[in-house]
Amino acid sequence: MLKQSLQQKLLQKLSPQQIQLMKLLQVPTIELEQRIKEELEANPALDEGAEKDPDDETEQNDDQEESEKSDEKEEFDFSDYIDDDETPAYKLNINNKGSDTDEKSIPFASGTSFRDHLKEQLSWRNITDQQEMLAKTIIGNLDDDGYLRREVENISDDLAFSQNIMATTEELEEALRIVQHLDPAGVGARDLRECLMLQLARKDNTYPSVRIATEILDKYFEAFTKKHYDRITKRMEVDNEDLKVAISEIVKLNPKPGNSMRDSSKTIQHVVPDFVITTDDEDLLLSINGRNAPDLRISDSYKHMIKGYEQAPSKDKKQKEAVMFVKQKIDSARWFIDAIKQRQQTLLLTMNAIMEFQKEYFITGDETKLRPMILKDIAEIVHLDISTISRVANSKYVQTPYGTFLLKTFFSESLTTDTGEEVSTREVKKILQDAVDGESKKKPLTDEKLANLLKDKGYQIARRTVAKYREQLNISVARLRKQL
């Protein structure tokens, strides 16, 4: 049964201006510059530069002269927006190219890739056309690390089905051996063990360290990966010193030969701090990066357009439509300028609260002085929503006298000591890191010993919690930290 009813609801929705502000809050300085450039290109009513003082007579005269010049040059013509007979751009475009038309385009060179480097080396070798074709097929199947993760039988099937080329597994194995003799050493391996052995094979086998290292990888690779050194020395009948030299040979090898070229061409990303904290005796001084506070203003020519329309004796429909367009662009520019200013105020307000909350750390630089701090703590201080604080802390960096840090690293949960004092988990992690750095590598500290060490210092933490913190610090288990 259908029936109509009248209901009254109270809904809360974000305005377009609020959504714009939320998006601007979470972008870092570099992205903000790009966002401003995009807005300047899209909105002609938005200009760079500081707003001029209307009380300054000299500047008023300058504005008047500029407006007169702009009128003479006819920078803006209403007919550009009023002309209804203007032909749309899509009607002027043609596409009379057939499917067989050969398009000539200029390629852009981006340097030699890893696979191109391998294929180039094939031309230097005395091999048949069949071997070269199969070797190029194998090179095309290598991953970015330089490994062949696919079975040779699968590559043989692909060639038969896709290119109607019949190649036996023996022929592909022979082509793979050709690829494995290319540079960098270790390329074309099926697994890590084979990759390391291919690199050792190019070294002088007359050295005892190379012979022992080769035997370790060939016969005791699993024991080596698990660092069961006692088992290796017993079975190989070598002493710890010989084993140590052999392991140093293995450690020098490259486990990812395909990355050797990519790493050399990797671009370096510079961190641009959004905030700068300096110390003056016991006082802290906070400043925001100037790129976060750009000078933006409404275009003077667009202001004169509105004034000229208001003073016009007659106003027809087409002029009204044109002025509505101008007014829309001016309003959009005002909203964007206000959003940038509000973003700057929110960033300063939030960062100032964080600085005061962690004042002792920013003065001393001692990580153990960091207080437990969560998003809710700062939100209550500045009277903003937690989501707003999260957006401010996202991807923002602060430059301090002790280094440049990601803002969200200062947020941490709390732990209670034996004395009832609340401390930051960062403090516990710092103690764990110092303990691991200072341990004997011959007998590294286990998670249980680390938990006992923390308990002696007054931190009641379970062993599984110690393991969690250790993993967050990218510290391996005790067995894998062992060294001879």
- Among the listed ranges 119-123, 288-292, 439-443, which one has the minimum average pLDDT value? 288-292
CB 336 within 8 A of CB 328: no
> What is the Cα gyration radius of the chain?
34
Q: Is the dihedral of CA 184, 190, 196, 198 positive or negative?
A: negative
Q: Does 346 have pLDDT greater than 80?
A: yes
Q: What is the pTM of this model?
A: 0.55
State the DSSP string of 152-183: HHHHHHHHHHHS-----HHHHHHHHHHHHTSS
**What integer is the mean pLDDT of 293-313?**
74
Q: In the chain, count of helices (H) and strands (E)?
A: 22, 8
Q: Does the pLDDT at position 78 exceed 50?
A: no
Q: How far apart are CA 147 and CA 120, in angstroms?
A: 18
* Number of Cβ atoms within 10 Å of the Cβ of 192: 17
Helix (H, G, I), strand (E, B) or coil at 274: coil
Lowest-confidence range among 57-71, 132-146, 248-262, 450-464?
57-71
Q: Which of 421, 413, 416 is nearest to 460 (CA)?
A: 416
What pLDDT is stored for residue 381 in this prediction? Answer: 92
pLDDT for 310: 66
Tokens read off for 26: 């979470």
Distance between CA atoms of 193 and 218, rounded to whole angstroms? 8
Task: Find, among 377, 378, 313, the residue nearest to 346 by Cα.
Answer: 378
